[in-house]
Amino acid sequence: MDTPLRTRFAPSPTGHLHIGNARTAIMNWLFTRHGRGRFVLRIEDTDRDRSTEASETAILEDLRWLGLDWDEGPQEGGDYGPYRQSERTALYAEEVNRLRDTDHLYPCYCTAEELEARRKAMLDRGESAHYDGRCRRLTQEEKRRFENEGRRPAFRFRVTQEEAVFEDVIKGQIAFQSENIGDFIVVRPDGMPMYNFACVVDDHHMHISHVIRGDDHVSNTPRQVLLYQAFGWEHPAFAHIPMILGKDHQRLSKRHGATSVAQYRESGYLPEALVNFLSLLSWSSESGDEILSIDRLVREFNFGRVSKSAAVFDVEKLDWMNGVYIRGLDVDRLAEMILPEMKKAGYPVSSQEEARTMASLFHDKLEKLSQIREKAKILFQEDVDPEDDEAKEMLNLPEAEPVFAAFLKAMASTDPWNAETFKNILKTVQSETGIKGKHLWMPIRVALTGQVHGPDLPRVAEILGYDTCRKFLKKALQYKKG
């Protein structure tokens, strides 16, 4: 009988959800939903000094915002809880005793300073840094002497095999020589378990069938495999997905820009677009399509199409993809999403209908929701100045003065003022002056907005209103005369 498909995402609540960890969560979620398994959320909060409730709350909010639901977790419960490591210490103590009883563990009294000095000496000699086994064969007298000095021991795993070998779903067979592993700590002096030990105990007791994580964890896996073997447990399948790099092919970090999901959320990216984009880092659809709905991602995901190479995080591509998703929104939905952005900018837009007007006008101009703050400023400015040399050039065209004069004259007998009226006036001005094309409408655009590019000009003029348009055109005429 096949083992039930169970995966887990196990963040540490020591900060925001990193974009790389979000990609790992997405890969786990897609694989699990594709196989109709159970997706488990486990909080790895054994770092007492850095773990906070606020970070846990923020991480859960980001996961929910991405649309990643889970079947078992701290709040949802399940058959294999508790789902916070800080609440599982009794289980860890029990499993530590099992390994001590079988002589797989021994106490280590080395201080952090002593270990660092030896590590540095090894590196200076050109050797790989690992524990030298100093405490492996301590006598009872030596142990008592250390304890009388006030030293509290950590417990190390006794590595006796020549190598640790495992099959990776993506990378194939991987082998680590034991001399490059060294006897590793499984329990700190304060009794808290180290990552590798707690991870193995939890994955086993939670019946995790597949461990899917970034390949920065490859070096942890041989230690975990040795622990599984010492316990006599079968280890889960391992799949180490490639790292995410910046455009300079260095590991993604703050110097490349935003690194947390919260930052992308605040910048106005849609969750569907971010999930789509992150899913395509090292994975691709057989169809070659890049815009993939969540349903398609779930339906098509498999590890056979995951590359072994690191993925490059291309912000420009993400912006393009997010723009595609924004343009796919209906106007009412976009209005709901940009209304908070308008309020952040301090614009006097308070109703859904007002936001709908903005959404309709800028629907095809946005790559991020937050861009509405900058783009909509043309509708709320008290005065207009050309924003660059190209705009100034438009106001200084020989045709600009007669265009402004003719437009103002035609406005005097206009009623009502709307987009259609604006278009009709442009036709009148063209007929009277003989000026057409960009020499006709470009000076008008700059006069009303200060920009040479922007949304539909007749609709902008309608929103600005008759009095504002007249004021701005009069100023532009004076600019030309000046």
Backbone angles phi, psi at 158, to 5 degrees: -85, 105
* Partners of 187 in beta bridges: 155, 193
Q: Rg for the chain (alpha carbons), in Å?
A: 32
Q: Which two tokens stand for residue 322?
A: 């997010």
Task: Report the C-alpha gap between 122 and 128 in whole angstroms.
Answer: 7
Task: Report the C-alpha gap between 437 and 477 in whole angstroms.
Answer: 19
Task: Report the C-alpha gap between 480 and 447 in whole angstroms.
Answer: 10
Which member of 120, 143, 171, 254 is catalytic?
A: 254
Task: Check if 317 is active-site.
Answer: no
Q: Which two tokens stand for residue 169?
A: 């779903």
Q: How far is CA 56 from the centre of its chain?
A: 16
Q: Which two tokens stand for residue 463?
A: 């929103």
Whether the CB-CB separation of 239 and 303 falls below 8 Å is answered with: yes
Work out the number of other CB atoms within 10 angstroms of the CB of residue 106. 19
- What are the contacts of 314-322 at 24+ separation with CB within 8 A? 314/247, 315/257, 317/277, 318/269, 318/273, 318/274, 318/277, 319/367, 319/368, 320/367, 321/273, 321/276, 321/277, 321/290, 321/291, 322/268, 322/269, 322/270, 322/273, 322/274, 322/277, 322/367, 322/368
- Residues designated catalytic: 254
